[in-house]
Amino acid sequence: MPGNNDIDQIREIIRLILKSKKILKMYPPNNPLCVNITDACFGKFAEFFNFSEKLSLQISQNGIFYDSEAVYSNTEKEDNLALFFFKDGLREITFKRGMSREDMSDFLKIISFDFGRDAVDDDIVTLLWEKDFQNIQYVVDEITLSDEEDYETQAVAEIEEKSADEESLLKAYEDTLKNGESVKEVEIAPLTDKDLKDLAGEFEKDTLDKAGKLVEILFEMFLLSETEDDFDDLASFFAGVIEYLLSMEEIDTATGVLLKLNYLKDAKGISEEIRNCSKKILVNISTEKIINLLGNILDGSRKIKDKKIEDFVKCLDVQAIPPLIMILGELKKIHSRKLVVEALVILGRKDMVSLAERLNDSRWYVVRNIIYVLRKIGDRKAVDYLLKTVKHGDVRVKKEVIRALGALGGGGVIQALRNCLDDPDFQIESAALTELGNIGSDAAKRIILNRIADSDFGVRDFEEKKKYFKIISKWKDDEVCNFMADIIGKKTFFGRTRNYENRACAAYCLGLIGNRESLPLLDKHRNDGNKLFNEFVTEAIKQIEHEK
């Protein structure tokens, strides 16, 4: 009886043969996967021959045996290696020490043929016979072949009966010429644009059908894989498939593949090897090359559903962040850039540091978009990075930073916004003022009130002053109302025009607050003699009464 170690070795050899049969059926012989699996098979045989002169395998319809010990069993019709040999009459195959790597390769190529579909007229026994292997021998059931014993003789006889001799052929040729019939040219109809379009569609459909079938086969192989080498090979093949699908702009199919892998990496009841390999594949496809192909699709003429792009990106690894930022600065369509920004929001939640590192990008629009992404993510940890960008040289970037700081809040934000109120560009000052109002804290209120009370405030442009009073109206408390009442009641001999502007702004603020207790004060100053002030007082009264 063979030992357990022998049986395990033989079962591994058969497993590799079956796997080789599948792989060589799918890919050309020079493909790295085919080369690797052939080497693996030959290596296993070499290990076996270190301790034995030969390996003889007996074949039944549903099983393969070694010294009466079952080493393979399968009752199904599909992928049944025993049945594959048995149906062509093979009853025993013997591999001998001295078998070369070339012999191994030729044997695997022979068994990889799909004799029902491939353009192969012979059966497996004939192909083995033609190779005349010295170290691979086989036993064939003669009964299976008995019906065809006289085939060669009969075939020769039929050919001799039907073949014409040289004189007969010449006579037939002369008779045809004497007939005098002219040879008519066959008129070939030209292909129309529609015909060409239909043909292109059929070619494309056939290609995509094959791609879909390839994906199915890859997943079948993936779930059946056992060794580390198998998983490594499949990881690279999946990356190649995704690359091919994106080059064909088949984002739907590519997304479907990624969603399956994304499910498998966390699925319960799945082996750890499959989960780890799924994660590895998703990392392998999160590359610059894949992202560039995605960018081509986004900027292409074909309309793509936003949900497909979102699902695709959700499956990517965080290493896709830098190439996504790179194409963000290159995409031409606004909608395409919007989709990439949303993609960065999804991935940035997993790795905010990779985003923040790009705040030093030389392209202002890229920096602005990254700041927007950080704001959308909503993590206050981003504040530390944003505070370093608040002094950026571009106004558009600074406005976006201020907006983000106001939305996120946190330590250092109030002081940064206060500093922005000193910016010579009122766009920046106005943006900081707005965010202080959005924060709505007591500290923010104190900063704004102090600015209005400052001696230099009166010299500002009227619209600038009005913006301050509009923002402070968000605090609808007694302190602000009393502050406004003091300004309205203030009269001065010098700088009366500017003072009236301040008083008009205070009336405007009380109107926005809408407190009815302010009506007596406003009524008292309805006709103070300044047109601007009177207009704002009248409007404030109407606004408060309307609120009632």
Whether 144 and 220 map to the same domain: the answer is no
Residue 434 included in any domain = no
In this structure, are 105 and 237 located in the same domain? no
Residue 266 falls inside a structural domain: yes
- Choosing from 305, 334, 363, the residue where a domain stops is 334
Amino acid at 103: D
Q: In this structure, is residue 72 part of a structural domain?
A: yes
Strand, helix or coil at 27?
A: coil
pLDDT attached to residue 114: 67
Would residue 132 count as lying in a domain?
Answer: yes
C-beta pairs of 333-340 under 8 Å, 24+ apart in sequence: 333/298, 333/299, 336/295, 336/298, 336/299, 337/369, 339/298, 339/306, 339/309, 339/310, 340/295, 340/298
Same domain, 124 and 259: no
Residue 533 lies in a domain: yes
Number of domains in the chain: 3
Whether 238 is in a domain gets the answer: yes
- Which two tokens mark 267? 């699925």
Domain boundary among 294, 311, 334: 334
- For the chain, the 3-state helix, strand and coil shares in percent, each to the nearest 5, are 70, 5, 25
Domain CATH code at residue 504: 1.25.10.10
Q: Which residues pair with 139 in a beta bridge?
A: 92
144 and 236 in a single domain? The answer is no
Alpha carbon separation from 523 to 245, 418, 516, 526, 540 (Å, rounded): 74, 36, 11, 5, 10
Question: Which residue ranges in the chain fall short of pLDDT 50?
Answer: 117-119, 145-153, 155-160, 162-164, 166, 169, 173, 176-177, 180-189, 191, 195-196, 199-200, 202-207
**pLDDT tens readout for residues 375-409:** 999 999 999 999 999 999 999 999 999 999 999 98
- Asked whether residue 228 falls in the same domain as residue 140, the answer is no
Question: DSSP secondary structure string, 205-264?
Answer: HHHHHHHHHHHHHHHHHHHH--SHHHHHHHHHHHHHHHHHHHHTT-HHHHHHHHHHHHHH
Question: Longest C-alpha distance within the chain, in Å?
Answer: 135
Cα dihedral angle (504, 423, 361, 281), rounded to 10 degrees? -50
Shared domain check, 141 and 15: yes
Residue 146's pLDDT is 44
**What CA–CA distance (Å, rounded) separates 119 from 121?**
7
Residues 108 and 218 in one domain: no
Element (H, E) at 57: strand 54-59
- Whether 414 and 443 have beta carbons less than 8 Å apart is answered as yes
Query: What is the per-residue pLDDT for 194?
Result: 57
Which candidate, 540, 536, 545, 532, places its Cα nearest to that of 512? 540
Q: Residue 102 phi/psi, 5° resolution?
A: -65, -40
> Which range of residues forms the domain containing residue 251?
210-334
Same domain, 19 and 138: yes
Cα separation, 420 vs 386, in Å, equals: 14
- Identify the domain boundary among 279, 308, 334: 334
pLDDT on residue 279: 92
In a domain, 158, yes or no: no
Same domain? For 241 and 129 the reply is no
- Return the pLDDT at 121: 54
User: Is 40 inside a domain boundary?
Assistant: yes
User: Could you tell me which of 371, 428, 430 has the C-alpha nearest to residue 405?
Assistant: 371
Do residue 111 and residue 18 come from a single domain?
yes
316, 231: one domain: yes
- Whether 105 and 227 map to the same domain: the answer is no
Task: Give the model's pLDDT for residue 209.
Answer: 57
Does the pTM exceed 0.75? Answer: no
CA distance 92 to 85: 9
